[in-house]
Amino acid sequence: MRNVVSRIAALLLVGLFPFPVFATDVYVAIDGDDSNPGTREAPLASVEKGVQMMRDQGPGTLWIGPGEFYLPSGVALDASLSGTAEQPLVIRGTKPHATHLVGARSVDEFRPITAEEAAPLLSDEAKQHVVVADLAALGFPKLAEMPLQHRAHQCEELIVDNVPMQSARWPNEGFTTFTEVIDSGASKPIHWVSREVYRPGSFRFPSDRAKQWNFDRGVWLHGFWTYDWADEAIKAGSFNPESGEVRLAAKHTYGVGSPYNPNEPRRFYALHVFEELDQPGEYYLDRQQQRLYFWPPSNLSQSEVRLTLCNAPILRANKVSHLVIRDLAIENGRQSGIDLRDCQQARVEHCLVRNFGSIGMALRGQQVVAEDCEVTQTASCGIAVSGGDRKSLTPGECAVINCHLHHVGRLDWLGGRGVTINGCGNRLANNLIDHCPTGGVSYGGNEHLLELNEVRDVCLLYSDVGVFYTGRDWTSRGNIVRWNYIHHVANNEGHGSSGIYLDDCDSGDTVVGNIVADGVGRGILLGGGRDNTISGNVFVDLPIGIHVDARGTKAIKLDQPGSWNLLAKCEQVGYQSPLWKERYPKLAEVMQHEPLLPMGNVIHSNLIVGCEKPFGLSGDVNPDWLDREHNAEWTSAELPALRPDGTLDLTKLAESWEKVPGFEPIPIEKIGLLHE
């Protein structure tokens, strides 16, 4: 009863005071004691005890002081901890990023490697520098077993001075390639890129190097086994040193080797190979003997060496409303940093999230927002967002705003984007995304707003990839990609990169006011989709400005199952319901108007400068299908904003786009991070 009266009083006073008067504050400090009352003067010692006290006392602020707090199982929040609009539950550090919530334990004792242990190492220098930690004797739990195939394996990793170390590999940089497929393990292509996979495939190893490895210890091979957009690490099942044949221990989704050219070089490298521990910063975890072998990159006595152990999100909340997580450094776990599931009005503010074996943050629910955060060194995606309901077209209003997402996808290249966003009605704005193995942003669903982001140094390993990517869904409509600056992007061999990639008949999106330059293969790839609007974009010095094809005529067979299930996806969301018909009338009539053709696309008022092909129309596209007007095709010399070194001076673009009829000004001064 007392709590009810207090909250009523707080409501009456909310107009008089900037903060609620009766908030419950609990304090945790590195030198506290869990028998204390949790006050500022007598703080608790553990975050877990602080959360328990918040559950008993009601919402308020859990203040966590500077220092490192090890959370072996993470911290779980449930609906009973929910706050209110007037008094949210707040979990925050007392100083920005000085409070470290970690999922790793320090490794403090190392010994020299014995001659017997060192004998298999191929580097004589390594035999002098590698040290060993006997983990079982140090009280560490039994190490997890490495999966046969994986991208982000979510097993233990070594972190030194807050930098993930490299599990022993060969070659140390880049890839080697094989060109001889012995057994693809798969049929010929049966539809587009798919084929039936019967068994793990095999290939001839490209050198004698593997003859020096002990495959009984376990050797994993990470590479692009079939296509340059589908990587995977797979254990070597067997190796024949006489023939050089390596057979994988598990089936890759598409088999081994290109189905069109079996001798096409395929990139890979060997991973978790004890013999290849041959340079500073490499390590090997012997998961049978429970030992860590490590070549320190610097003086061990001056380094913080940690092994990730927590196999749960460091902070996870389920069905919690009115939650704020603020000013924390959340780091060094086997899984993710923050996982908010089915939450409402929850915010993550001013947090540093780094060094995780999966994604950095998962934001799911209604009005779940990450703002002013940094996410880095994740094994997979930086932030994954899902909110809203597609069938009822209810917006989720989730958002990622003013965040720096970089150096993600350490292990899972396919998933290694800065942000993935799904559902309905969510926003991505004013972020800086850089250093991703694949593209920067993947989105699907309806009515998302992706604006004012800067994306650079992405697509580093992948080919046939989009910086902003979506695809294979007629119903994923109403999305707006606008006012983004995309530059200095890798364009690898094969199908290369595209600034905005509307893949496999994606339809009904608006792409407006984006600037794409410096290294990107195509400004926009419109892959057979319908009813897209592409207007007021700037493409500078690219091989292709705007690509359009009619791939639906080859890939879609509406009278057969499969074929990307485009019509089935329409039926799943109720595209003939009154709501969907009103919102997307062209979709409601898609079957009546040549559904396999890229019809209804509007391409107006784009500035295409110095592109080898301003428009790359495939041979199956009739130009009359496209509504194209007022697109300016200039040479590089005609663009004053282009500096002598080939880079853009964005501040001078306005004097050029003013000459393009119908071009809407781009708010260049608002693009990117709002502050560093």
- Distance CA(479)–CA(444), nearest Å, equals 9
Residues linked to residue 406 through DSSP beta bridges, in sequence order: 376, 434
List the CATH number of the domain containing 205. Answer: 2.40.30
The residue among 94, 117, 140 that closes a domain is: 94
Residue 11 located in a structural domain? yes
Here the tokens at position 547 are 């690509």
Across 380-399, average pLDDT: 98
pLDDT over 70 at 7, yes or no: no
- Distance CA(458)–CA(208), nearest Å, equals 34
Residue 525 located in a structural domain? yes
- Distance CA(362)–CA(405), nearest Å, equals 14
Q: How far is CA 651 from the centre of its chain?
A: 31
Residue 605 located in a structural domain? yes
- pLDDT class of 23 with cuts at 50, 70, 90: low
The residue among 59, 94, 129 that closes a domain is: 94
Please tell me whether residues 476 and 606 are part of one structural domain.
yes
How do residues 428-460 score in pLDDT, each as one tens digit? 999 999 999 999 999 999 999 999 999 999 999
Please tell me whether residues 499 and 598 are part of one structural domain.
yes
Please tell me whether residues 86 and 204 are part of one structural domain.
no
Q: What angle do CA 662, 529, 482 make, to 5 degrees?
A: 40
Q: What is the pLDDT of residue 263?
A: 87
The residue among 94, 119, 145 that closes a domain is: 94
On whether the CB atoms of residues 420 and 389 are closer than 8 A, the answer is no
How do residues 248-290 score in pLDDT, each as one tens digit? 999 999 999 999 888 899 999 999 999 999 999 999 999 999 9
Q: How far is CA 97 from the centre of its chain?
A: 22
| φ, ψ of residue 668 in degrees (nearest 5) | -60, -35
Mean pLDDT of the chain: 94
Of 303, 297, 370, 304, nearest to 336 by C-alpha is 370
Residue 426 located in a structural domain? no
Task: Report the domain count for the chain.
Answer: 4
In the numeric block, the tokens 């509007």 are attached to 602
Q: What is the pLDDT of residue 4?
A: 35
Residue 393 located in a structural domain? no
Of 305, 323, 330, 309, nearest to 99 by C-alpha is 330
How do residues 101-122 score in pLDDT, each as one tens digit? 999 999 999 999 999 999 999 9
pLDDT over 50 at 16, yes or no: no
On whether the CB atoms of residues 470 and 446 are closer than 8 A, the answer is no
Residue 128 located in a structural domain? yes
Q: What is the pLDDT of residue 15?
A: 33
CA dihedral 616, 622, 627, 631 (to 10 degrees): 30
Q: How many CB atoms lie within 10 A of CB 159?
A: 23
How do residues 155-206 score in pLDDT, each as one tens digit? 999 999 999 999 999 999 999 999 999 999 999 887 778 899 999 999 999 9
Please tell me whether residues 76 and 123 are part of one structural domain.
no
- Distance CA(499)–CA(479), nearest Å, equals 16
Here the tokens at position 641 are 């904003």
On whether the CB atoms of residues 175 and 463 are closer than 8 A, the answer is no
pLDDT over 90 at 675, yes or no: no
**665: cis peptide before it, omega within 30°?**
no
Please tell me whether residues 41 and 122 are part of one structural domain.
no
Give 437's DSSP letter. Answer: S
- Distance CA(672)–CA(401), nearest Å, equals 10
| φ, ψ of residue 4 in degrees (nearest 5) | -65, -45
Kindly state the helix (H) or strand (E) to which residue 278 belongs, with its residue range: none
Rg (CA), the chain: 27
Identify the sign of the CA torsion 326, 331, 333, 337: positive
Q: What angle do CA 651, 656, 659 make, to 5 degrees?
A: 145
Half-sphere exposure of 451 (CA within 13 A, CB side): 16
Of 672, 644, 652, nearest to 607 by C-alpha is 652
- Distance CA(676)–CA(374), nearest Å, equals 11
Query: What pTM was computed for the model?
Result: 0.95
Please tell me whether residues 186 and 220 are part of one structural domain.
yes
First-to-last C-alpha distance (Å) of the chain: 47
Of 72, 95, 103, 104, nearest to 326 by C-alpha is 95
How do residues 599-638 score in pLDDT, each as one tens digit? 999 999 999 999 999 999 999 999 999 999 999 999 999 9
On whether the CB atoms of residues 303 and 105 are closer than 8 A, the answer is no
Q: How far is CA 221 from the centre of its chain?
A: 22
How do residues 314-355 score in pLDDT, each as one tens digit? 999 999 999 999 999 999 999 999 999 999 999 999 999 999
CA dihedral 577, 578, 580, 584 (to 10 degrees): 130
- Distance CA(622)–CA(193), nearest Å, equals 25
On whether the CB atoms of residues 80 and 65 are closer than 8 A, the answer is no
Task: Look up the domain containing 73 and give its range.
Answer: 2-94
One-character DSSP codes across 68-97: EEE-TT-EEE-GGG---SSS-EEEEESSTT
Please tell me whether residues 208 and 140 are part of one structural domain.
no
On whether the CB atoms of residues 361 and 395 are closer than 8 A, the answer is no
C-alpha distances (whole Å) from 274 to each of 164, 212, 260, 295, 547 are 18, 10, 35, 12, 47
Q: Which residues contact residue 286 at a Cβ distance below 8 angstroms, ignoring those fewer than 6 apart?
A: 217, 274, 292, 293
Please tell me whether residues 481 and 574 are part of one structural domain.
yes
Across 33-48, average pLDDT: 97
Residues linked to residue 399 through DSSP beta bridges, in sequence order: 369, 427
Which of helix, strand or coil describes residue 452?
A: coil
Residues linked to residue 282 through DSSP beta bridges, in sequence order: 166
Please tell me whether residues 150 and 241 are part of one structural domain.
no
Percent of the chain with pLDDT over 70: 96
Residue 314 located in a structural domain? no
On whether the CB atoms of residues 527 and 506 are closer than 8 A, the answer is yes
Please tell me whether residues 164 and 199 are part of one structural domain.
no
How do residues 471-511 score in pLDDT, each as one tens digit? 999 999 999 999 999 999 999 999 999 999 999 999 999 99
C-alpha distances (whole Å) from 380 to each of 114, 419, 420, 636 are 36, 10, 11, 38
- Distance CA(206)–CA(2), nearest Å, equals 75
Q: Which residues contact residue 582 at a Cβ distance below 8 angstroms, ignoring those fewer than 6 apart?
A: none
In the numeric block, the tokens 């589908």 are attached to 230
Residue 492 located in a structural domain? yes
- pLDDT class of 560 with cuts at 50, 70, 90: low
Please tell me whether residues 119 and 21 are part of one structural domain.
no
Q: How far is CA 452 from the centre of its chain?
A: 19
Here the tokens at position 143 are 């190490």
- Distance CA(323)–CA(325), nearest Å, equals 7
Q: How far is CA 47 from the centre of its chain?
A: 28
pLDDT over 80 at 233, yes or no: yes
Please tell me whether residues 141 and 218 are part of one structural domain.
no
